[in-house]
Amino acid sequence: MISKPDQREHGRARWLVESIALVILALALALVFRATVASAFEIPTPSMSPTIMVHDRVIAERISVHFSDPKPGDIVVFDDPLGGHVPLIKRVIAVSGQTVDVHDGSVWVNGARLNEPYTHGLPTEVGSLPLPCAIPNGRIWVMGDNRTNSLDSRYFGPVDVATVQARAVALYWPVSRLADLTDGD
């Protein structure tokens, strides 16, 4: 027969082991969730302002990119095509089969000028790549909303769809700037 003090110590030890196991399980589930379902990203540059400002935080879902390619207007997180370690976040402007051009301070896709209220009237300048550019299969053209301060497809070309990690769905921090990022503007 176990004495009362021994029973209490046994109960405490069991509680401690169960608590540690629950914490480990919770961490494992959080890591799996982050790797497969959704992640939070902090914005490192002003290339998406004023839509998304430096140090804002967004939630990006990872599931839909496995089932469908990004479409124009989506804000996507993708591997830096120049080899940087921090993923980039930009807006999809054109997709495979479309042709992008920049002139008169505006972006043109398939000969039609885009209506881009998210640029807040900032002009779009031509980058270092020759335009117009026909977007090849499996690629997308991405640009920051802050066209005067964005290193984007105008400089590194169309992005491989396979490098897209996630679609941004919501700006959640700071709370005063909560926003749905799926509406295209």
Q: Give one DSSP letter per residue of the chain, joined into a string.
A: ---HHHHHHHHHHHHHHHHHHHHHHHHHHHHHHHHHTEEEEE--SGGGTTTS-TT-EEEEE-SGGGTS---TT-EEEE--TT--SSPEEEEEEEETT-EEEEETTEEEETTEE---GGGTTPPPPP-SS-SSEEPPTTEEEEE-SSGGG--SHHHH-SEEGGGEEEEEEEEEESGGG-EE-SS--
Structure tokens at 139: 């690629």
Q: How far apart are CA 158 and CA 94, in angstroms?
A: 9
From 19, 39, 71, 90, active-site residue: 90
Q: Please give the pLDDT value at position 109.
A: 97
Blockwise average pLDDT, block size 10, the chain, 185 residues: 68 87 85 74 91 93 89 95 92 97 94 94 89 96 94 96 94 90 72
What is the CB neighbour count within 10 angstroms for residue 119?
A: 23
Structure tokens at 153: 């497809």
Q: How far apart are CA 39 and CA 62, in angstroms?
A: 8
The model's pTM: 0.81
- In this structure, is the dihedral angle defined by the CA atoms of residues 101, 103, 109 and 114, taken in order, positive or negative? positive
Q: How far apart are CA 27 and CA 23, in angstroms?
A: 6
C-alpha 94 chain-centroid distance: 17
Count Cβ atoms within 10 A of the Cβ of residue 142 and give its class: 0-12 exposed, 13-18 middle, 19 or more buried.
Answer: buried
Query: For the CA atoms of 119, 121, 126, 128, what is the dihedral angle to 10 degrees?
Result: -40
49 is catalytic: no
Q: Please give the pLDDT value at position 1.
A: 57
71 is catalytic: no
From 47, 49, 150, 153, active-site residue: 47
